[in-house]
Structure 1
């Protein structure tokens, strides 16, 4: 049976490179623990700013 988790990454006030670096670290760490990225969803507020990214992960339970 699959197990799911959601993790947020703050993007506001950060460069795209800083956000990308953090995403790479998270995906590599989680991948090593058996998690797979299902989706990345931006959370937009203030009409034009991406405030956060939500990362949805899945893995099979042992």
Structure 2
């Protein structure tokens, strides 16, 4: 999911360089939304793992 956020960020930067304001804004917005979803899922995963209390397997 983080890869999708980075992809949309790159699309937004390229679109901004070429002057496509609407496309750049939309891609940047999508990248932000996906990034925050990724962060929320990461935190949820870390909390669930901490509550489970099992050590990670090597």
Task: Give TM-score, length-normalised by structure 2.
Answer: 0.41
Ranked by relative contact order (alpha carbons within 8 Å, sequence separation 6 or more), the top structure is 1
The structure that is helix-richer by fraction is 2
The structure that is strand-richer by fraction is 1
Task: Give TM-score, length-normalised by structure 1.
Answer: 0.39
Flag the structure with larger Rg: 2
